[in-house]
């Protein structure tokens, strides 16, 4: 076959392929596209065109600024909730720990017989004080860093808790400590609050509830064993910010 016949044959083959492609178009497609619609493209050509269009129309990978801000907002809300839940759980843990510490103190105080003075050295020697509470300056401190003084006189063995260094939590902590004394009502002489507006003020505000061995418990019904939440709240509200001591006195 010479060169002229080869190109002529190729042209004929190309025309036949175009006619075959046009025959694939349905009547409905021609009607839809209008009277002047061009012959349909072959499936191969159409698929190739779509592929090219997809390659050029694909958006860049990544997130828009609005989407990122939305994600950050969700993370912020979840973080606030998690922090709040953690704070509540930690507070509950520390309140339980405080109850445990004071329960050990009550038990320790009942184990020794001392006339008067500081009970701490004796309790330390007997290893009756929780180790995390002991300080080197003759004071002990609970899990909330409340200062606790242990002393004895001729009538009582006293636990004095300074509440003034926890101004934002003193009501909650006071309630928790008072609640811990209720099971010990039979051994207690009295519990109460002594407060004044400033350390230099001579006028004190005081209120007391009494243990089972006191006459007042039966006559006035101000008993430790029957302390209600409302009574404890009223007692704790006496505390002023600058000076407030919570007294827990055991019978000798």
The per-residue DSSP string of 66-119 comes to HHHHHHHHHHHHHHHHHHHHHHHHHHHHHHHHHHHHHHHHHHHHHH---SSEE-
Domain ranges of the chain: 3-52, 90-251
Query: Are residues 113 and 152 in contact, defined by beta-carbon separation less than 8 angstroms?
Result: no
pLDDT at 3: 43
pLDDT at 4: 43
Give the number of other Cβ atoms within 10 Å of residue 102's Cβ.
24
Q: Which residues pair with 248 in a beta bridge?
A: 159, 191
Angle at alpha carbon of residue 100, lines to 152 and 249, rounded to 5°? 25
pLDDT at 19: 58
pLDDT at 243: 82
pLDDT tens, residue order, the chain (252 aa): 544 444 444 455 555 555 555 555 554 454 555 544 444 445 544 555 555 555 555 555 556 777 777 777 787 777 776 676 777 888 899 999 999 999 999 999 998 887 778 888 888 888 888 888 887 667 899 999 899 999 998 889 999 998 875 555 668 899 999 999 999 999 999 999 988 877 777 888 889 999 987 677 877 678 998 889 999 988 888 887 678 899 999 988
127: which DSSP letter? T
Angle at alpha carbon of residue 144, lines to 142 and 149, rounded to 5°? 35
Structure tokens at 91: 């507070």
Give the number of other Cβ atoms within 10 Å of residue 94's Cβ.
16
Structure tokens at 199: 């350390």
- Of the candidates 202, 193, 116, 208, which has an alpha carbon nearest to the alpha carbon of residue 162? 193
pLDDT at 15: 57
């Amino acid at each position: 076959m010479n060169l002229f016949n080869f190109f002529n044959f190729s042209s004929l083959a190309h025309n036949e392929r175009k006619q075959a492609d046009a025959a694939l178009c349905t009547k409905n497609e021609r009607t839809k596209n209008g009277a002047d619609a061009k012959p349909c493209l072959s499936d191969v050509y159409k698929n190739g065109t779509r592929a090219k269009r997809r390659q050029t129309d694909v958006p860049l990978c990544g997130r828009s600024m609005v989407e990122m801000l939305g994600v950050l907002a969700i993370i912020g809300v979840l973080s606030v909730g998690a922090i709040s839940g953690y704070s509540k759980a930690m507070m509950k843990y520390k309140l339980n720990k405080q109850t445990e510490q004071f329960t050990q103190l009550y038990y320790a105080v009942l184990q020794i017989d001392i006339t008067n003075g500081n009970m701490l050295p004796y309790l330390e020697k007997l290893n009756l004080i929780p180790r995390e509470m002991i300080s080197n300056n003759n004071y002990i401190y609970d899990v909330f860093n409340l200062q606790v003084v242990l002393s004895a006189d001729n009538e009582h063995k006293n636990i004095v808790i300074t509440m003034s260094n926890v101004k934002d939590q003193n009501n909650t902590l006071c309630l928790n400590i008072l609640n811990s004394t209720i099971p010990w009502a039979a051994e207690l002489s009295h519990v109460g609050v002594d407060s004044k507006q400033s350390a230099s003020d001579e006028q004190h505000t005081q209120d007391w509830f009494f243990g089972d061995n006191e006459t007042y418990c039966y006559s006035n019904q101000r008993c430790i064993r029957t302390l209600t939440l409302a009574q404890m709240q009223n007692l704790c509200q006496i505390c002023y910010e600058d000076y407030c001591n919570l007294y827990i006195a055991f019978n000798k």
